[in-house]
Amino acid sequence: MPSSSYCLSRVRTLRRTTREVKVGSIGVGGDNPIRVQSMTTTETLDVEATSRQTIELVEAGCEIVRITAQNVRAAEALAAIAKKVRVDGFDVPLVADIHFLPQAAMEAAKHVEKVRVNPGNYADRKKFAVREYSDLEYEEELERLHGAFSPLVLRCKELGRAMRIGTNHGSLSDRILNRFGDTPRGMAESALEFIRIAESHDYREIILSMKASNPKVMIEAYRLVVALMNDESMEYPLHLGVTEAGDGEDARIKSATGIGSLLLDGLGDTIRVSLTEDPVHEIPVAQDLAARTETLWQRAKNKTDAQPDEGIDPFEFTRRECVDLAFGPNCKVGPKEPPRVIVPAGRPLEEFRDIVSDLSKAQAANKDAPIEGLLLRLKSEKDLSHLETLRETLVGSLPLLVVEYQPGEQFELPTRASDRGSPKILVLRAFATSQAEDLHTFLTETENADHTSALALEPTDLNGTLGEVLKTHQGSAPIITLSKTSTFAHPVGAYRALAAQLRQLNLPFPIWIRSSDEARIHPDEDFFSSRLLDSAILTGSLLCDGIGDILSVENAPDSNRSRALAYNLLQGARARSSKTEFVACPSCGRTLFDLQSTTQRVKESTSHLKGVTIAVMGCIVNGPGEMADADFGYVGSAPGKIDLYVGKNRVKSAISEKEAVDRLVRLIKEEGKWTEP
């Protein structure tokens, strides 16, 4: 493991220092803003279509455009594409995307401002061969690699071209796999091998990427490669992206989880949001993520939040330990349980009949993604009787009712449940440093009423008497959440500090992540896509750190939308599966079928399969390698022909595209993973 940290602060967004790399006229890294880029989806040999799409991307705000060059002919076509784009008045830097052919890279370097190479594909072939390499054999492999990669390095140096060394999870060479495994460490080492070769030729115009379809893997890989670079005094800029994110809301959540988490930590100099949609749709999402980072950079200048001692390994996912709580036979909270979902009732308590109706409809329609707790706000003493009626009505329907007291309110606590099937009561109140005596009284009352308490606190408040009071009530195991008035530079940092403070006090209480308007980075943006990004950055970052036992989304239009978004956030962070997980590449000039329509057809047939991951890949480059952790793969192998995979193993070859979706369903049934919708 590296000896260095990967970031300057985990509670403030302090930008990592990097060298500036020029991609044509655009500077990446250094003091430059975060650059937004995308990739064309047209066939590269179609010069007219590729040039037109390049210009469309630039007009949408794209600053760097990547184009696949899957062979020498395609690399040669880059010359005509670049000329046409320039003649039309656009000076956007172009990037050649190279995988298997060094000859194509050598040709492409003549025509474009940057060349992207994948270390696992450039000079190696992936055969999934199991072999032990002695140290001598490994060094011999590195010498072979040096000979294969050096000509491109020297050509880029001669022509003033930049290079992206882009490692992808799952497309690691057999050499790397056998030494480091299919791991974030393997991804980082794969890139560093290529960097060292480039540096041996005094070439440093390099940008790095560590992409994966799993945000957890992607986050760990970027953190690790930065720490390893720090050990070797390397300061290369980073290109961030979650590869094969798919389409729609799920893809935006995955991208915001992975990219946003790293941007929060000060990592990232250029970003691409990979969507299985028209690439123009990628640009506004990337711009929104970049804008949030700019906001956090400015906010960090006025903050002095100290880095707490978290006691975690940021390079390997581990779920935070906490005590176990039970709110019924099917709703337990703890480190071995999936995070539980609470949603706001969306109505005042006097409308309890409508609350029951809303809940019944949502639960009946979403058995794999149920509401597990309703958040209710008391406004008067009269609400207590409404609460009792509601609880009696919901016997057997809901594990948990969360009653939130506003600051300063002193209502009597609800009574014990009269029916054993009634929802458990969780009482939520906020406490400040000066309210230690009130906290003691509140905890005592909730214990006597057989309720569970939830406390909203500022992390620093636990340093004093509030922390001492909690130590005397460890048996009641309150749930802890963040104060809505937290003064930390960003909410992820505040929750990290909260977890660290609980650890230092040896108080392993569950943590409740509240995605509310107060926890947003851009609360002034009153549209759902903005709320979605803020929620994904907040919850995704924490869940990928192993923090979070309860989740609530409190800024969606209604309770059912809150439920759906909460489950999508959990799915995107790989924290809880409630539906099929789709991995779909964003399409490019290598794609052998219409990726968008095909992905939709696959989804229509399989989206009900809870806990199953299906990869839809346009070509063999994004086939068995990129879909590293998928259960099933649908991969283009030739025009109109599809190969089907189980894991990394190809089991059906050259199937007609017309029957491929039906054959995929049949395969899933044969493997025992099918359930009827």
Q: What's the CATH number where 334 sits? A: 3.20.20.20
Q: Span 237-256, mean pLDDT?
A: 89
pLDDT band, very low/low/confident/very high, at 579 (cuts 50, 70, 90): confident
Per-residue model confidence (pLDDT) at position 289: 96
Same domain, 272 and 236: yes
Per-residue model confidence (pLDDT) at position 621: 61
Give me the domain span that covers residue 59.
Answer: 26-300
Per-residue model confidence (pLDDT) at position 571: 93
Same domain, 254 and 381: no
Of 236, 267, 300, the residue at which a domain comes to its end is 300
Q: Please report where in the chains the tokens 């000979």 appear, as a residue.
A: 147
In the chain, % of residues over pLDDT 70: 95
pLDDT band, very low/low/confident/very high, at 603 (cuts 50, 70, 90): confident
Same domain, 288 and 163: yes
Instruction: Tell me the HSE value of 197 on the side-chain side, using a 13 A CA sphere.
Output: 23
Per-residue model confidence (pLDDT) at position 28: 98
Is 586 among the domain residues? yes
As separate numbers, helices (DSSP H) first and strands (DSSP E) second, the chain gives 19, 25
Same domain, 519 and 607: no
Per-residue model confidence (pLDDT) at position 257: 96
Same domain, 566 and 586: no
Look at residues 533, 541, 457 and name the one whose alpha carbon lies nearest to residue 10: 541
Same domain, 566 and 661: no
Averaged pLDDT of the chain: 89
Q: Span 159-181, mean pLDDT?
A: 87
Is 315 among the domain residues? no
Q: Is the pLDDT of residue 393 over 60?
A: yes
Same domain, 154 and 78: yes
Is 613 among the domain residues? yes
Per-residue model confidence (pLDDT) at position 123: 74
Alpha-carbon distance of 118 to 621, in angstroms, equals 10
pTM equals 0.93
Q: Is the pLDDT of residue 589 over 70?
A: no
Same domain, 609 and 540: no
DSSP lists the bridge partners of residue 614 as 582, 632
Of 300, 316, 341, the residue at which a domain comes to its end is 300
Q: Is the pLDDT of residue 56 over 70?
A: yes
Q: Is the pLDDT of residue 126 over 60?
A: no
183 alpha carbon, distance to own chain's centre? 17
pLDDT band, very low/low/confident/very high, at 619 (cuts 50, 70, 90): low
Q: Please report where in the chains the tokens 């660290």 appear, as a residue.
A: 500
Same domain, 342 and 438: yes
Q: Span 86-97, mean pLDDT?
A: 96
Is 3 among the domain residues? no
Per-residue model confidence (pLDDT) at position 580: 87
What digits encode the pLDDT tens for the residues 209-244?
Answer: 999 888 999 999 999 999 999 999 999 999 999 987
Q: Span 269-292, mean pLDDT?
A: 94
Write the CA distances from 197 to 167, 182, 192, 201, integer angstroms.
15, 22, 9, 7
Domain count, the chain: 3
pLDDT band, very low/low/confident/very high, at 198 (cuts 50, 70, 90): very high
Specify the range with the lowest mean pLDDT, choosing from 150-159, 349-358, 404-413.
404-413
Is 538 among the domain residues? yes
Q: Is the pLDDT of residue 163 over 70?
A: yes
Is 556 among the domain residues? yes
Same domain, 292 and 362: no
Q: Is the pLDDT of residue 207 over 80?
A: yes
Q: Span 274-288, mean pLDDT?
A: 93
Give the angle subtended at the CA of 101 by the CAs of 270 and 211, to the nearest 5°.
Answer: 30
CATH number of the structural domain spanning residue 606: 3.30.413.10
Same domain, 545 and 611: no
Q: Is the pLDDT of residue 622 over 60?
A: no
Same domain, 589 and 546: no
Per-residue model confidence (pLDDT) at position 587: 63
Instruction: Tell me the HSE value of 28 on the side-chain side, using a 13 A CA sphere.
Output: 31
Per-residue model confidence (pLDDT) at position 627: 65
Is 18 among the domain residues? no
Of 266, 300, 334, the residue at which a domain comes to its end is 300
Rg (CA), the chain: 26
Is 190 among the domain residues? yes
